[in-house]
Amino acid sequence: MKWNLLIAFLILSLVSCDQRPIAKAVAIDQNGLQQALVADNEKIKVINFWATWCAPCVEELPYFEKIGASYKNQVEVILISLDDAKNITSEVQPFLENNQIRSQVLLLDDPYAAEWIPIVDQHWDGAIPVTLIISKDKKQFYNKALTYKELEDAINEFL
């Protein structure tokens, strides 16, 4: 009887929850950004620019988490924080833990935004949040906050 319970539990835990560990924020420079923007052969990259103090950004983070978990074999979610690099351990990391963020989190430590904004997309005016979806043969830029449905529809255009 004990064994049955144990096995049932094992199966449940295997099937149900998001098992990815809580993200660890990693600081990157412009080169790191360039690498993050390179298309992957296997997966669709969903890249979101955000910051802990940006309310509309924080509002849409759960949608990216959900996409990352439910499309984990097809989609790689990268959350690029534009928080001040000196707050990485005092604010960004605690935020990730409190909000159970499990997608990859990079912190772009380069204040000269005018130099890298055009690298991300020539149409970007610098407002956040903003989202970029990249596959090996397609790129789409969303200069706005997204609802879950908009995000899922956008991903489905790539699948």
Which residues contact other proteins (rule: CB under 8 A)? 3-4, 7, 10-11, 14-15, 51, 53-56, 71, 73-74, 82, 84, 111-115, 117-118, 121, 123-129, 140-145, 154, 156-157, 159
What count of other Cβ atoms lies within 10 Å of the Cβ of residue 22?
A: 13
For the bound state, the minimum distance from the C-beta of residue 7 to other proteins, rounded and expressed in Å, comes to 4
Nearest CB to other proteins, comparing residues 98 and 125:
125
- Distance between first and last Cα of the chain: 44
Nearest CB to other proteins, comparing residues 99 and 155:
155
Q: 92 and 57 in contact (C-beta within 8 Å)?
A: no
Nearest CB to other proteins, comparing residues 25 and 120:
120
What count of other Cβ atoms lies within 10 Å of the Cβ of residue 159?
A: 9
**SS3 state at 123:** coil
